[in-house]
């Protein structure tokens, strides 16, 4: 089993995975002020909850979009397991041809998603990752990563709406029953969720027009189950896409 960690701006996804199965998948909040010891306690706690002995972990790999925390997390993993944690960065073997103006600037999470998705789903692909930002990446029918979009995430949009308007409250993300809402809270919920679904559908339609072919669509991220049921496109939700991509990268770069 390897310890696969994806660090985003809002959450850190921590999982145990090998070629046979996923043993656990958990999320903790990303805080740049937490120390190496604090993160080691959180990670050790997750292992304990799932009955995993640190000695059973053969390796570790980290994908991150929060560079200031990279060494903190890597040292925390070493403290628990005694292993050096691999970091997803430019120069790694990915098996992915990245056709971008500057390939080194592509987020490591987007690369990891693409590596996993192109190995499991038919090309061409649109890969949606719904976290702090909503990203949609495209892998063409030849297996090239050809680009995508970055959009403000669902939670950012909702928090901004509440914080910048005096009379609008915080709301949860229950899936609305109707688009035309009858009260303020349902109106906010409908606007955010149906609006985000409409954005995703609209972007995918435009991508398909640009490519001249239909895209297979897969979505991941903690917010994907709230939005994908409202989309017109058929979207496969794969919550473990990042973990599977991290495992593939770990094996390629051993």
Q: Is 184 part of any known ligand binding site?
A: yes
Instruction: Give the full edge-to-edge strand order of the sheet including 11-17.
Output: 22-29, 11-17, 2-7, 59-64, 86-87
Instruction: Give the full edge-to-edge strand order of the sheet including 133-139.
Output: 97-98, 144-152, 133-139, 125-130, 216-220, 235-237
Q: Is 72 part of any known ligand binding site?
A: no
Q: DSSP H helical segments within 133-183, as ranges?
A: 154-164
Q: Is 218 part of any known ligand binding site?
A: no
Q: Is 160 part of any known ligand binding site?
A: no
Q: Is 195 part of any known ligand binding site?
A: no
2: which strand partners?
17, 59
- In the residue annotation, 101 being an active-site residue is answered as no
Q: Is 109 part of any known ligand binding site?
A: yes
3-state secondary structure of 195: helix
Q: Is 7 part of any known ligand binding site?
A: yes
From CA 108, how far away is CA 113, in angstroms rounded?
A: 9
Residue 38: how many other CB atoms lie within 10 Å: 13
Percent helix, strand and coil across the chain, each to the nearest 5: 40, 25, 35
Return the DSSP state at 174: P
Q: Is 108 part of any known ligand binding site?
A: yes
Q: Is 8 part of any known ligand binding site?
A: yes
Q: Is 127 part of any known ligand binding site?
A: no
Q: Is 132 part of any known ligand binding site?
A: yes
Catalytic residue among 18, 48, 101, 109: 109
CB of 6 closer than 8 Å to CB of 16: no
CB of 243 closer than 8 Å to CB of 25: yes
Residues annotated as catalytic are: 109
Binding residues: 6-13, 107-110, 129, 132, 184
Binding residues for substrate: 107-110, 184
Binding residues for ATP: 6-13, 132
Binding residues for K(+): 129
């Amino acid at each position: 089993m390897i310890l696969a960690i994806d660090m985003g701006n809002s959450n850190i996804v921590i999982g145990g995975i090998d070629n046979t199965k996923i043993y656990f998948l958990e999320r903790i909040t990303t805080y740049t002020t937490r120390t190496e010891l604090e993160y080691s306690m959180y990670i050790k706690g997750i292992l304990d909850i799932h009955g995993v002995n640190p000695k059973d972990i053969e390796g570790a790999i980290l994908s991150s979009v929060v560079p200031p925390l990279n060494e903190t997390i890597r040292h925390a993993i070493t403290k628990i397991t005694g292993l050096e944690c691999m970091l997803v960065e430019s120069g790694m073997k990915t098996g992915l041809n990245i056709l971008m103006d500057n390939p080194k600037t592509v987020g490591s999470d987007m690369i990891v998603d693409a590596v996993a998705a192109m190995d499991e789903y038919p090309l061409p692909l649109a890969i949606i990752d719904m976290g702090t930002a909503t990203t949609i990446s495209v892998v063409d029918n030849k297996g090239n990563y050809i680009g995508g979009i970055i959009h403000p995430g669902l939670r950012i949009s909702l928090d901004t709406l509440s914080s910048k308007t005096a009379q609008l409250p915080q709301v949860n993300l229950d899936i609305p029953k109707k688009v035309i809402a009858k009260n303020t809270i349902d109106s906010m919920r409908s606007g955010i969720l149906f609006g985000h679904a409409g954005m995703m559908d609209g972007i995918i339609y435009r991508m398909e027009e640009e490519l001249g072919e239909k895209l297979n669509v897969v979505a991941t991220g903690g917010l994907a189950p709230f939005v994908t049921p409202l989309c017109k496109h058929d979207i496969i939700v794969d919550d473990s896409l990042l973990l599977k991509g991290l495992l593939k990268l770990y094996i390629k770069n051993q």
